[in-house]
Structure 1
Amino acid sequence: MKRFDFKTQARIFIKCTAAAVLSLAFILSGCSDKSAVSSDALPVIIIGSDEYEPYNFSDKNGNPAGIDVEIASEAFLRMGYKAQFKNIVWDEKDEMLADGKVDCLWGCFSMNGREDKYRWVGPYMNSRQAVAVRADSNIYALSDLSGKKVAVQSSSKPEEILSQNSADIPQVSGLYCFVRTEYIFAALRKNYVDAVAGHEYMLRVFINESDNKYRLLDESLLLSKLGIAFAKDNDSALPEKLRATLYDMKNDGTLAKIAVKYGLDPNTALGGITLE
């Protein structure tokens, strides 16, 4: 009959307990490291953008929010980076990109007409540029803008379109360019201009907050393709990796979910978008 040795069993129990504690420490340490890597320990990608709701704006706590902020944060996290939005003067975007002060430009940035100026990732979403006027205005079509005064954000697509000498574009009598979008609305409120042009969502928010004293024209000034701009000479693998990640996010429904969250029709926002 085998004798029960209390001292031997005690030593075995202590060794097993120590091993279990050590294993648990390794597990917890691994979890801690994973948590750290998923946040502040990740390498940072600096994204140049300006305030342009609903794509990039500051929430009530002053933190970056919006469609592009959420897409970028998720995409770069999947790639092993942390997205950091840097609010810039949009007129200085090319200099900041060339100087390396930002890694890319991302903020409702239209690729239309700029296809050869940057190394693009996209298009990842569609955007409609529209025109808003006072409710009692006699402007009902884009052709009615001929001879009128229009306010736009400087360096925006509406500025480019309305400054062209084209038979398809109405010749306005004055094109007033402002650095910040709130200034274009102030110009319309004070009757300094007859119309304002910009992103459809931005104009709808303005109209809703103004008790419908203004209205949107049915015609689109432009349906633009949005992209992420890297420097033309950027030869890294990052842009193509980002493209592949956005492709996955479109196919798994992430892009549509973010679009719906901010009041966009996902069929319009993502129609024709392939990212292939």
Structure 2
Amino acid sequence: MKYWIKRSVLPFGIVCLMSMALCGCGREKKEAVTVQPELVIGSDDYEPYNYQNENGDYAGVDVELAKEACRRIGYTPVFKQIQWDDKDIYLENGEVDCAWGSFSMDGREDDYIWVGPYMYSREVVMVRTDSDIYKLDDLAGKNVAVQSSTQPERIFLGQDYDIIPKVKNVYSFVEMNELFAALRKGYVDACAGHEIVMREYLRQSGQKYRILDEEIIDSKLGVAFSKNKDTQKAEQLRQAMAEMLEDGTVQCILEKYGMENRVAAGGITP
């Protein structure tokens, strides 16, 4: 007895299509990836301007401004922690494109290519609550702590600023927390720096200190690029920051930190 086996024959075209489909199995679809250029931003830990939060993410006024500005010009912001008094070295060797972290332009206008000012910041003096210092004149003969390579250091060491009396000693520290430690332990009578930074420390320390009513100077803050490098990134950032000042974005970000009255309206022109 013969048994017949019935075979189904598929059209050649369908077989080809199935083969192509099978060959495609397991292959990942490749999509074009656009790599954005980077803007490497150097700053020290300077809350609330530029710092790392409890999750290790960069946060603060200048960080938010940088992220929005970079979004507008098609750059990826890369934040790099640096020793602030070595910022010129980082800029010149190309490790960072710019220094951006509550950086005062005053007296340094010709030292860098500036994008600014975008806001103002009062430089003030802080003392312990039991101190007998109530005005700047009371600093005569006292010991004062400052952060190295900052505006207060320049003013107190120069001793040529009319509003500041002759102090006994000026101690320059690398980090702001070292200033606060020196004041807390009584090694110095006062410390000087940006008001917002001082107020943040007051909030965290339980109001054991007070800030003098008189300011040292109202500084103009900007973003610093090396004069010896390509200026393209600086010009692109200038355009973005000018737009952000004009459309209220800078104002909006500063409001989140209680600094809305510190905006340098019209401070940057394209």
**Other-structure match for 1:130:** 124
Mapped to 1, the partners of 2:102 and 2:73 lie a distance apart of: 21
Letter of the structure 1 residue corresponding to residue 68 of structure 2: E
Higher relative helix content: 1
Instruction: Tell me what 2:233 maps to.
Output: 238
1:61 matched to 2:52: no
Q: 2:136 aligns with which of 133, 142, 149?
A: 142
Separation of aligned partners in 1, 2:97 and 2:133: 42
* 1:272, distance to aligned residue in structure 2 (A): 4.6
Matched, 1:274 2:267: yes
CA deviation vs aligned residue, 1:3-28 (integer Å, no higher than 9, x gap): xxxxxxxxxxxxxxxxxxxxxxxxxx
Q: Aligned residue for 1:8?
A: none
Distance 1:184 1:271 in 2: 28
Equivalent position to 1:181, from 176, 180, 183: 176
Cα distance, 1:238–1:251 mapped onto 2, change above 3 Å = same
Deviation at 1:164, TM superposition (A): 1.0
Map of 2:258 onto structure 1: 263
**SS at 2:85's partner residue?**
helix
SS in 2 for 1:136: coil
Q: Which runs of 5+ in 2 are unaligned?
A: 1-28
- Which position in structure 2 is the counterpart of 1:158? 152
Match status 1:94 vs 2:88: yes
1:51 and 2:57 aligned: no
Kindly indicate whether residue 198 of structure 2 is the aligned counterpart of residue 203 of structure 1: yes
1:122-157 deviation per Cα after TM superposition (whole angstroms, max 9, x unaligned): 111111111111112111111111110011111111
2:100 maps to which of 100, 106, 119: 106
TM-superposed CA distance for 1:207, in Å, is: 1.7
In 2, the alpha carbon distance for the partners of 1:158 and 1:167 equals 11
Distance in 2, Cα, partners of 1:238 & 1:271: 21
Whether the 8 Å CA contact 2:246–2:266 is kept in 1: the answer is no
Q: Distance in 1 between matches of 2:165 and 2:244?
A: 39
Structure 2: how far apart are the matches of 1:213 and 1:135? 6
Distance 1:108 1:167, change over 3 A: closer
Query: What is the root-mean-square deviation in Å for CA atoms of aligned residues?
Result: 1.6
Choose from 219, 224, 231 the match for 2:219. 224
Task: Give the fraction of aligned pairs with identical amino acids, expressed as a percent.
Answer: 51
Is residue 119–residue 230 contact of structure 1 (8 Å, CA) maintained in 2?
A: yes
Aligned equivalents of 2:111, 2:160: Cα separation in 1: 22
Partners of 2:150 and 2:78 in 1: CA distance: 23
Rounded Cα–Cα distance in structure 2 between residues aligned with 1:189 and 1:156: 21
Question: Which of 57, 69, 76 in structure 1 is aligned with 2:70?
Answer: 76
Aligned residues: 239
Contact 2:92 2:228 in 1 (8 A): no
Per-residue deviation, 1:271: 4.3
Candidates 212, 219, 223, aligned match of 2:207: 212
Alpha-carbon shift at residue 249 of structure 1 (Å) = 0.7
CA distance in 2, matches of 1:271, 1:255: 9
Letter in 1 for 2:137: S
Question: Does the Cα contact within 8 Å between 2:145 and 2:182 map onto a contact in 1?
Answer: yes
Q: Answer yes or no: is the 8 Å Cα contact 1:149–1:193 preserved in 2.
A: yes
Q: Secondary structure at the match of 1:263?
A: coil
Deviations 1:196-244 (A, max 9, x none): 1111111112222222221110011111001111111234332122111
Question: Secondary structure of 1:108's partner?
Answer: strand
Residue 263 of structure 1 deviates from its aligned partner by 2.1
Q: Tell which deviates more after alignment, 156-165 or 232-241.
A: 232-241
Query: Which residue identity does 1:262 align to in structure 2?
Result: Y
In structure 1, the gaps of 5 or more residues are 1-28
CA shift, 1:167, in A, is 5.6
